[in-house]
Structure formats: structure tokens, C-alpha cells
Chain A
Amino acid sequence: MKHLLSPLDFSTEELDSLFHLADDIEREPGKYAHMCAGKKLATCFYEPSTRTRLSFETAMLNLGGNVIGFSDAASSSASKGESVADTTRVICCFADICAMRHPKEGAAYVAASRSSIPIINAGDGGHQHPTQTLTDLMTIHALKGRLGNFTIGLCGDLKFGRTVHSLINALVRYENVKFIFISPEELRVPDYIIEMLKEKEIPYEEVINLESCIPQLDLLYMTRVQRERFFNEEDYVRLKDFYILDRAKMALAKQDCLVLHPLPRVNEISVEVDEDERAVYFKQVQYGVYVRMALILTLLELV
């Protein structure tokens, strides 16, 4: 039995088969509509994350399965002081697979170590959120047709953005990827990532200005600057509007430069960009469902 706790739990070969399965689900959803009949997914969310939970639940329903669970700690036994380990043992009696979100780092690992059913980490604090990374990779695979051989720009909060760090760690496993990190000085990518890239001799650049580097990008990954990361409102206000992707900047980008964003966006991408064919952040949500469907089928060993 396999769990998914970190994006690197799957080898690139395993990811390849997962993405090919998701491709097939996209092509012929009807073929998969009953594959999980009689199976139950438990969504155990100790903190609310409606988008992630709905994506998992949609994935299971699309496969003909059922869904049980809780959507915040107050409605779970955690409010009575039950441990993650005990809750997991109970859930194992109810469901066939479990997606868990928890504010504390390592919670999904605790669950997996006590579990008789596959556990999917749906986010454990600032630590890991592997299905977001799978969604990002799947979107690139599906719309770019390749993982590797491209220059990717990552823009915005590169310091605190867990999504960005996971994506970098996942992409370094592919051939010929060049990174351009676009951020204000205060939100630069952490040193440990730079050291890792140097060690692996992977090309990267750190820049402040988006306009000057946008023409060379094959992919642009935008992120939101999160208010909760800042101690004072002043810094937040100053940095949140540092990068706003608009039509004028998109005019400088390549004809096939895809724009991704983990959503929700605040104002870092102007709504006028939404009509641009290269803006794929809403398609990304759809690919998130396909890849979660493929993941559920794979972990339940139904394919």
C-alpha cells in the first residue's frame, strides 16, 4: 500500500503513468465513471480549505465513489482532544482512502504510520501539499506536452510560498529546465534552494523586474503575496502590488508562454489577462480534478 505524503514520494516514472492515466480520464471520462463504485473517500480537514476539499470530493464522485468527512477541526473529534493517530484508526473502519489536511507539519505522516488505508496529504501546515504540485506538473504536461526542456519564471512570493518550493523540487528531476526567480528582495527564494540548484548545476537567474525577463519564458508561474506572512501591514501593502500581470506585459511574452497560478489570486493577475489563451489557471483547476482522479485510482490499485 502506498501513501502520498510528499511530492517526491512518486518517482518520475510513476508520475508519468499517473499523468498518462489522467490524460485518458480527460479523453474518456465515461470509462472511469463507475470505477470507484462502493468505495468511500474520507476528507479529514482539520482546517478549512474548501477548494482542495471540493477538488478531492469531485474527483471521487466522478469515479462513482462516495465521500464522507469533516471540513474543520471544530466538527471533528479533535475538538474533544482526540489524536490524529486515533482519528485515523477510526476513519480506517469507515473509508477506503483518506485525504487529510491539518495545520501542523507532519500530521499526514502520523496518520500514514497508523493507517491501513492509503493516506493523501492534502496539506500539512507550511510543510507539504503534494496534490498541488501534481496539479501544476499535470497542467504543464497536458498543455505544454512535455516536462522539461523549458524556461520557467516563478514570480511573486518566493520566500514563503510552499507551492513554489515544492514545484522547484519536483522540476529539478526533469531534463533541461531553467529557472528564473522574479521577486522583490524581501521575498527572494530561500538559500537552501539556491544551494541545491548550484549543487545540481541547474541554471537559474534571480531578477527583480518581470518585464525584462518575460520574453524568454515558456512558462510563468504567478503567486499571491499572503497577508498572514507579514508582521506589519505596511510591508504587505508595499509588496502585494509589486507585480501585476496585465495585457501590456503579456504582449511581451512568447506566443506559447503559459501562465499558471495556484489560485486564489488577489490582484497579481489583472482580470483582462483571463481572456488570453495563454492564461491557463482555471484549466489548472480542471487538471487538478483529473490528476486527483488518477491518484485515487492508483492508490486504490484499481488500474
Chain B
Amino acid sequence: MLNVGKIEEGLVLDHIKAGKSMEIYRYLQLDKLDCTVAIIKNARSNKMKKKDIIKVECDINMLNLDILGYIDHNITVNIIQKGEIVEKMALHLPKEIKNVIHCHNPRCITSIEQELPHIFVLADEVKEIYRCKYCEEKYSKKASHDK
């Protein structure tokens, strides 16, 4: 397997669904950070056959990881300090997500005012339901998976 060096301080995002790493790279806005980022695509995995891995060498507080819970809560987040895994972070659905999903209600104010951010608020954690902050249009995460 391709070898990428150990990191001293930062994050290892493991068990990313193969092919999804670039999407996560964009959502975490890693392009805006001036730090070492390694993206490993299609790594061999016992559990998943193929997976992606992202390693980021940075102060972990610089990243907003909330969005990962929305994208895929099966991702394993390892926090690295002094070259060792010190914590495995559990992922939750974020309370609010911005510009990740878009409101498709044609009666919503966001349909005519393009500069407004598309904000969805978690309405039901169990049913994984989000609602548009403006018009309260329902967005079901589960239903969108089934499609």
C-alpha cells in the first residue's frame, strides 16, 4: 500500500466511502488551509473493500467537523497528538447546515434571492429530518438515501 508518513498533530479521517474524499475536502474547506493534507483514494479495507482516507496536519480546532456527521456518520475521526491517536470522535447530525443542501420549495424566498445562504435546521434527530430555516420545507435525509 502507498505509504503516507505519520502526522504529529491533526486528524485522520478514516473509513470514508471510496470516491467521497474530494467532496469532504471541499466541505471542510481544506483548500483554504495552509497545512499538509494527504488524500488517499481507494485504499484497501477489510471492512469496506475500498475506502478513502484524509490526513490533515493542523490544529484540530481550525476545522468545523459538524458537517461530517451530515455527510456520513460512519466516518471515523481520529485525533492525533504527538503522533498517537488520543481520541476517536463520535459524529452526530449537526444542528444546522449551511449551503450543503438546497431548498427546492418554489415558494421559498431563497428561490428568488440567490445570495441568501441555504440554511437547514435539524428538526427531528431520530427521523433525520431537517427543515429550511426560511420556509420550513421538510428535507428527510433518510428519504434521500433511499432514492
> In the complex, are the beta carbons of B112 and A106 less than 8 A apart?
no
Query: When A and B form their complex, what is the total count of cross-chain residue pairs whose Cβ atoms lie within 8 Å?
Result: 46
| A123 CA / B135 CA spacing, docked (Å) | 12
| A126 CA / B111 CA spacing, docked (Å) | 15
| A66 CA / B82 CA spacing, docked (Å) | 67
Residues of B within 8 A of A105 (CB): 105, 107-109, 134-137
> In the complex, are the beta carbons of A83 and B135 less than 8 A apart?
no
How many residues from A make CB contacts under 8 Å with B? 15
Query: How far, in Å, is A29 (CB) from chain B's closest CB?
Result: 37
Residues of A within 8 A of B112 (CB): 104
- Asked if B21 CB lies within 8 Å of chain A CBs, one says no
| A110 CA / B115 CA spacing, docked (Å) | 12
Query: How far, in Å, is B144 (CB) from chain A's closest CB?
Result: 19
> In the complex, are the beta carbons of A110 and B113 less than 8 A apart?
yes
How many residues from B make CB contacts under 8 Å with A? 16
| A85 CA / B115 CA spacing, docked (Å) | 10
Nearest neighbor of B113 in chain A, beta-carbon distance:
A83
Mark out the residues of chain B between 83 and 112 whose CB falls within 8 Å of any chain A CB in the assembled complex.
105, 107-112
> In the complex, are the beta carbons of A106 and B132 less than 8 A apart?
yes
> In the complex, are the beta carbons of B115 and A106 less than 8 A apart?
no
Which of A102, A106, A124 lies in contact with B110, CB distance below 8 A?
A106
Among A102, A103, A105, A107, which residue has the most Cβ atoms of chain B within 10 A? A105
Mark contacts of A95-107 with chain B using CB atoms, 8 A cut-off: 1 yes-contact digit, 0 otherwise.
0000000111111
- Asked if B116 CB lies within 8 Å of chain A CBs, one says yes
> In the complex, are the beta carbons of A83 and B115 less than 8 A apart?
yes
> In the complex, are the beta carbons of B115 and A109 less than 8 A apart?
no
Residues of A within 8 A of B108 (CB): 104-106
Nearest neighbor of B138 in chain A, beta-carbon distance:
A192
Mark out the residues of chain B between 1 and 50 whose CB falls within 8 Å of any chain A CB in the assembled complex.
none
Sampled A-B contacts (30; CB under 8 Å): A83-B115, A84-B109, A85-B113, A85-B116, A104-B107, A104-B108, A104-B111, A104-B135, A105-B105, A105-B109, A105-B134, A105-B135, A105-B137, A106-B108, A106-B110, A106-B132, A106-B135, A106-B136, A109-B109, A109-B133, A109-B134, A110-B109, A110-B113, A124-B109, A125-B107, A125-B135, A126-B107, A127-B107, A127-B135, A127-B136
Given A103-B107, A125-B135, A126-B107, 19 more A-B residue pairs with CB atoms under 8 Å apart are A83-B113, A102-B109, A104-B108, A104-B112, A104-B135, A105-B108, A105-B134, A105-B136, A106-B109, A106-B132, A106-B133, A106-B135, A106-B136, A110-B109, A110-B113, A110-B116, A124-B109, A127-B135, A127-B136
Binding site for B on A (CB under 8 A): 83-85, 102-107, 109-110, 124-127
